């Protein structure tokens, strides 16, 4: 993530210094995205009243249709690119939330104390992502084809429940990630911009510790097919 950030800042500075003489335009638009969310992780927990640790691993996924808003600045078309395919800096925001898994996961744990009195608890686990931000640069490759690289950020909200009153809570966390993609784009005579792209985002590892000392380690990735429509001023 830090390496990509330095590369993007360097590219932005270089392009800004060498493109002062080139005109550009601002653009606003919307994106419809078919997104696949993949997550895998493990939980390390201790049974109540004992020092015995248990480890649970799981992989989940979900498909979601989401919408995005974007704003960007594009320099004039590159000599090797088609109309509308110039160097572009932009940012997009995804309102709303999406579940990480298409099903709520649940399990029942049974414990016993020194008096051989047993107790059971039923726990459910789910997570959602929201406030997905993406800061990116698009570079013309050839004609209408472009490459995209960016930095992403998303909030992960844990939605666990338990029938045990003293069960721990994990809370929420913001994750950073890297975003890469390839696509086609162009502009009409009436300044309507269109894009069709495939993108992947790899987020940093999620590490959370609950209020009772249980720990979660998880990996979150997304892949998207995006269709964007916008207007250039």
How are beta strands 24-46 and 53-75 bridged, if at all?
antiparallel
Instruction: Please write the tens of the pLDDT for every residue from 149-190.
Output: 999 999 988 876 655 555 567 778 899 999 999 999 999 999
Report CA-CA distances (Å) from 164 to 63, 92, 119, 122: 32, 41, 9, 8
Name residues whose C-beta falls within 8 Å of residue 169's C-beta, 6 or more positions apart in sequence. Answer: 158, 160, 210, 211
**Alpha-helical segments (H) within 52-149:** none
Count, residues in the chain = 233
Domains of the chain as residue ranges with CATH: 2-16+26-104+120-232 (2.40.160)
Residue 213, sorted as left (phi over 0), alpha (psi -120 to 50) or beta, turns out to be left
Quick one: how far is CA 225 from the chain centroid?
A: 14
Instruction: Please write the tens of the pLDDT for every residue from 101-148.
Output: 655 444 455 454 555 555 555 445 567 889 999 999 999 999 999 999
């Amino acid at each position: 993530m830090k390496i990509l950030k330095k590369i993007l800042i360097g590219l932005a500075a270089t392009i800004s210094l060498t493109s002062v003489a080139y005109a550009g335009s601002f653009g606003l638009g919307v994106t419809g995205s078919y997104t696949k969310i993949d997550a895998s992780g493990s939980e390390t927990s201790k049974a109540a009243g004992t020092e015995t640790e248990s480890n649970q691993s799981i992989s989940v996924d979900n498909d979601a249709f989401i919408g995005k808003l974007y704003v960007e600045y594009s320099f004039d078309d590159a000599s090797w690119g088609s109309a509308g395919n110039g160097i572009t800096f932009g940012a997009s925001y995804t309102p709303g939330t999406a579940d990480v898994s298409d099903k709520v996961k649940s399990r029942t744990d049974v414990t016993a104390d020194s008096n051989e009195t047993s107790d059971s608890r039923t726990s459910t686990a789910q997570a959602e992502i929201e406030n997905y931000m993406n800061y990116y640069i698009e570079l013309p490759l050839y004609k209408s084809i472009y490459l995209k690289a960016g930095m992403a950020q998303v909030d992960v909200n844990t939605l666990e429940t338990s029938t045990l009153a003293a069960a721990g809570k994990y809370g929420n966390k913001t994750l950073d990630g890297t975003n890469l993609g390839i696509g086609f784009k162009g502009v009409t005579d009436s300044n309507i911009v269109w894009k069709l792209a495939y993108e992947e985002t790899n987020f940093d590892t999620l590490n959370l510790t609950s209020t009772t000392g249980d720990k979660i380690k998880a990996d979150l990735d997304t892949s998207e097919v995006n269709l964007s429509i916008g207007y250039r001023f």
